Structure 1
Amino acid sequence: MDTSIVMTGLTNVFTFYNIAAILGGTLLGIFVGAMPGLSATMALALLLPLTFSMDTATGLSMLASLYVGASYGGSIAAILLRTPGTPSAAATVLDGFPMSQQGQAGKALGISLFASFIGGSISGFALLLAAPLLGSIVVEFGPIELFAIAVLGITIIGSLAQGSVVNGLFSGMIGLLVSTVGMDLTTGTPRMAFDNINLFSGISFTVALIGLFSIPQALSLVENSNAPAKVASRITDRLIPKWGELKALMPNILRSSGIGVIVGLIPGTGGDTASWFAYNEAKRFAKDKSRFGNGDPAGVAAPESANNAVVGGALIPTIALGIPGSSATAILLGALMVQGILPGPNLLIDYGDVTYTLIWAVVFANLGLLVVGLMFTKASVMVTRIPDGFIACAIIALCIIGAYAINNSLFEVGLMLGFGLFGYWLSKAGVSPAPMVIGLILGPVMENSFQQSMLIGGGEYSIFLSSPIAVVLLGIAVLSILQATPFFRWVLAPFRRRSQMA
């Protein structure tokens, strides 16, 4: 990859407006993460319409920093309220809250902040170093390989989603179906538009995104609004940890950061998986395991460095293959689509400057996290006292404004509310909406690459077996489904028993 493109991305981020966007996005992310019941994905979905009028670099910088800030902000409620602000902060509760009960809330938050900064920085530079290698690989990808990637993305996300494999694939297939609404790009005929001119151009990705991720959370907050309010622990000690304490935690932080990057590489996993994995490893390597669960600083540093390291790791498959590593990175891909940039392996080749702008934004967002976190962590405690009912009303109002602002259409507001109710039903049924979002993103890529492949192969399906890369990717897609089925687990059961006996 040409180094000039790398420097172009750095120049795009290193401007007054974009640095201000990074600091503002980080602050907003910390506040959102500190509010129990909210998530980084919901905040990204709500703010996506704001990027329509922004420069591409500014919009990406703000969204990336919000993602990073929310990953840390979830630990504030976890430590002070014993309620994780985000799912990835669930493991932080185990030792973070006992530390706050012992009068060490500031120390726990400081360790969480510095661990998040180190973990996020490591993942950001890993992403920066991996990008040139990825760029040299993706030049081998054509329509056949693109179709295989799209199939792999749907199956992996579906099989790793919460609940059963069938539920995950069902959600992904709905997303693929919704992505076909509108004019056929090849024949020019409308599909599933029901003679409604508003559907001829298809369903806006942003409208579906806002509805699926924001409305269900608002309704859940309304359901829990009558629950007794929790009182946050007070911060009476210093926030910045001593150098000796950080030095002792550094091996744990570095190991957990590596775990976070590796887990982030696997599409469909997230910060919550990495946090528990890192916490278990920290406990396994500890000399005194009895301290875990009773206020051990290592029990805070491990999950927090891991969940922030997931950010950069999840962006590697997102940038290289166009397969979102998580629902949050799916929204970042949506931000690129809003700017007319289609996701896929050609992203690094055709839009190298935009890609490196996003990478540098992640790197600088972690530096902004340290600065903003030191300044506003104590102030962010105030947001934990906001009533759930008020937050829910604010979310719904922002959803309506955001959906209307896309095309100034009340029809899309109604469409957004419809997706919101459908997403709420999915959550109650135990079906994750994340595969549905991935289906919406990968649907056009799958359809276009399939049609192009069939033209290349003269209508023969055997064309997909002519590419070794496509064969490997499709084989992995099949295995990703089989490994989660009861039959496959039954076949492997004897081998697992033998390994356990050995």
Structure 2
Amino acid sequence: MENLVLVGLSNVLTFTNISLILGGTLLGLFVGAMPGLSATMALALLLPLTFSMDPATGLSMLAALYVGASYGGSIAAILLRTPGTPSAAATVLDGYPLSQQGQAGRALGISLFASFIGGTLSGIALLTAAPLLGVLVLEFGPIELFAIAVLGITIIGTLSQGSIVSGLLSGTLGLLVSTVGMDLVTGTPRMTFGILNLFSGVEFTVALIGLFSIPQALVLIENAHGTQKLASKITDKLIPSLRELRRLMPNILRSSGIGIVTGLIPGTGGDTASWFAYNEARRFAHDKSRFGKGDIAGVAAPEAANNAVVGGALIPTIALGIPGSSSTAILLGALMVQGILPGPNLLTDYGDVTYTLIWAVIFANIGLLLVGLMFTRLCVSVTRVPDSFVACAIITLCVIGSFAINNSLFEVGLMLGFGLFGYWMKKSDISPAPMVIGLILGPVMETSYQQSMLIGQGNLGIFLTSPIAVVLLCIAVLSVLQATPFFRWLRGAMRGRGQVE
């Protein structure tokens, strides 16, 4: 295991990978600074670029983009009062008032350093947890893998935005789409409708680009004639003093811990962690009245938690093949493009690639600090880019990326079809993330189920012979039941009874 850690480190410490990490961080910074765009959308658009790359190189670039966009969202939040990414919403509360007071540089500097500390700590936690997880996953076989896939679907469905029904419906649709193509056992075509292009199944990247990028472009076109964006100017210094950092350090460390733990729970994400950390920062503050009026602690807390989620979300992604967020789902998609099937075998069969990804996250945070100090002031101009121009650029990249997958116009049409469906989902307040998880976990679930049936000679009781599978399936059942109206009523009744007593 120690050898794999060193192999991963040596893979990252090459000129090509370091250059791509810095480039990915800078690109993520610009994407995050553009209001309305997200790390998930950028990752989906850039995924086709990794086809010709070495798996370790492609993952390093995507991980750096993820890290950069997580911080970049605070730029628009502080300067425009418009979160660049959903996870930067909590930063608006105190970041924008600080910029109105002529302290935009101070707010962005604290945001940058808090993001760096939170992201680095989460990367170290990921690196520390990986060897322990590597020993655990050796116990996983087809039976356990099926239970993991079921757990992934139920958790993502119940923790997605909107109701449990819409979340599970989205996940089920993903599972259904993942079955299109030739049956893995019988070789029979399924739901191909006689179209030869579908015999190999629906290309994951095509669905990903369509679901996440096209809807965002259409929303930007809708809002293109809105109010003109006027960004605050940075007139003060960007680098905070050591005294100020020392004073904020307990808050940053606490928020980083919150981000790591929140990231461990599949389906949550940076927005949940940011609000949680902001609330805790306010609770521990001596003067709570300053929050919402320009308290620098209200900037440090959500930004540290936001970037700490990156490493935390990668822990279940690497250990179990369950994406901790929609962004980590795309990182798993990058592995699938390279012929690496997500699951516990990532730490054993593909340990070199996995540890390269872990080291890339750590070095991306170091790159974030360096790139952020040099280019944050430049990013102010990015916030003024017209929405219509951004939308046209996104649609163009979507068409080029989907065509480049198989040099097929059919893939472009399929991508646009997924895009229109994703737009309908967005308008109906149905998250596309569970559908993406269904696309990823579908092949894993089907393969492991068929293997389990062969082991158990067609007896479903085989899933009860593994203690690990029983525990995982029980958690899956509970995760569905706890979100039902009955359980919510039961919790409310028990809470009311406790208050009466």
Counterparts of 2:45 and 2:143 in 1: how far apart (Å)?
Answer: 35
The aligned counterpart of 1:369 is: 368
Counterparts of 1:338 and 1:176 in 2: how far apart (Å)?
Answer: 18
Query: Residue 494 of structure 1 aligns to which amino acid in structure 2?
Result: A
The aligned counterpart of 2:436 is: 437
Are 1:446 and 2:445 counterparts?
yes
Secondary structure, counterpart of 1:4 in structure 2 = helix
Counterparts of 1:168 and 1:363 in 2: how far apart (Å)?
Answer: 32
- The Cα shift of 1:398 comes to 0.1
Counterparts of 2:399 and 2:380 in 1: how far apart (Å)?
Answer: 28
The aligned counterpart of 1:108 is: 107
Query: Residue 438 of structure 2 aligns to which amino acid in structure 1?
Result: G
- The Cα shift of 1:501 comes to 5.1
The aligned counterpart of 2:314 is: 315
Secondary structure, counterpart of 1:378 in structure 2 = coil
The aligned counterpart of 1:349 is: 348
The aligned counterpart of 2:275 is: 276
Counterparts of 2:408 and 2:223 in 1: how far apart (Å)?
Answer: 32
Counterparts of 1:56 and 1:319 in 2: how far apart (Å)?
Answer: 15
Query: Residue 271 of structure 1 aligns to which amino acid in structure 2?
Result: G
Counterparts of 2:500 and 2:95 in 1: how far apart (Å)?
Answer: 37
Counterparts of 1:377 and 1:13 in 2: how far apart (Å)?
Answer: 25
Counterparts of 1:249 and 1:75 in 2: how far apart (Å)?
Answer: 18
Counterparts of 1:293 and 1:421 in 2: how far apart (Å)?
Answer: 38
The aligned counterpart of 1:249 is: 248
The aligned counterpart of 1:138 is: 137
Query: Residue 389 of structure 1 aligns to which amino acid in structure 2?
Result: S
Query: Residue 410 of structure 1 aligns to which amino acid in structure 2?
Result: L
Counterparts of 1:75 and 1:266 in 2: how far apart (Å)?
Answer: 23
The aligned counterpart of 2:300 is: 301
- The Cα shift of 1:61 comes to 0.9
Give me the TM-score of the superposition, normalised by structure 2.
0.99
Query: Residue 350 of structure 1 aligns to which amino acid in structure 2?
Result: D
Measured against aligned partners, the alpha-carbon deviations of 1:279-318 in whole angstroms (never above 9, x if no partner) come to: 0000000000001001000000000000000000000000
The aligned counterpart of 2:175 is: 176
The aligned counterpart of 2:120 is: 121
Counterparts of 2:11 and 2:466 in 1: how far apart (Å)?
Answer: 38
Q: How many residue pairs were aligned?
A: 501
- 5 Å matches for 1:93-492? 93-492=92-491
Secondary structure, counterpart of 1:269 in structure 2 = coil
- Identity, % of aligned positions: 80
Counterparts of 1:501 and 1:274 in 2: how far apart (Å)?
Answer: 33
Measured against aligned partners, the alpha-carbon deviations of 1:209-250 in whole angstroms (never above 9, x if no partner) come to: 000000000000001001011200000000000110000000
Counterparts of 1:448 and 1:496 in 2: how far apart (Å)?
Answer: 44
- The Cα shift of 1:347 comes to 0.9
Counterparts of 1:46 and 1:500 in 2: how far apart (Å)?
Answer: 52
Counterparts of 2:432 and 2:169 in 1: how far apart (Å)?
Answer: 10
Secondary structure, counterpart of 1:341 in structure 2 = coil
Counterparts of 1:492 and 1:461 in 2: how far apart (Å)?
Answer: 33
Counterparts of 1:498 and 1:68 in 2: how far apart (Å)?
Answer: 45
Query: Residue 142 of structure 1 aligns to which amino acid in structure 2?
Result: G
Counterparts of 1:38 and 1:205 in 2: how far apart (Å)?
Answer: 21
Alpha-carbon RMSD across the aligned residues, in angstroms, is: 0.7
Query: Residue 326 of structure 1 aligns to which amino acid in structure 2?
Result: S
Secondary structure, counterpart of 1:194 in structure 2 = coil
Q: Which runs of 4+ in 1 moved over 3 A?
A: 498-502
- The Cα shift of 1:498 comes to 3.3
Counterparts of 2:261 and 2:2 in 1: how far apart (Å)?
Answer: 26
Counterparts of 1:466 and 1:86 in 2: how far apart (Å)?
Answer: 45
Secondary structure, counterpart of 2:8 in structure 1 = helix
Measured against aligned partners, the alpha-carbon deviations of 1:343-369 in whole angstroms (never above 9, x if no partner) come to: 001110100000000000000000000
- 5 Å matches for 1:63-78? 63-78=62-77
- The Cα shift of 1:499 comes to 3.9
Structure 2, unpaired ranges of 5+: none
Secondary structure, counterpart of 2:457 in structure 1 = coil
Counterparts of 1:201 and 1:274 in 2: how far apart (Å)?
Answer: 39
The aligned counterpart of 2:87 is: 88
Measured against aligned partners, the alpha-carbon deviations of 1:159-190 in whole angstroms (never above 9, x if no partner) come to: 00000000000000000000000011111111
Q: Report the CA distance shift for 1:500/1:209 in structure 2 as closer, same or farther (over 3 A).
A: farther
- The Cα shift of 1:500 comes to 4.4
Secondary structure, counterpart of 1:385 in structure 2 = coil
Query: Residue 416 of structure 1 aligns to which amino acid in structure 2?
Result: M
Counterparts of 1:416 and 1:336 in 2: how far apart (Å)?
Answer: 20
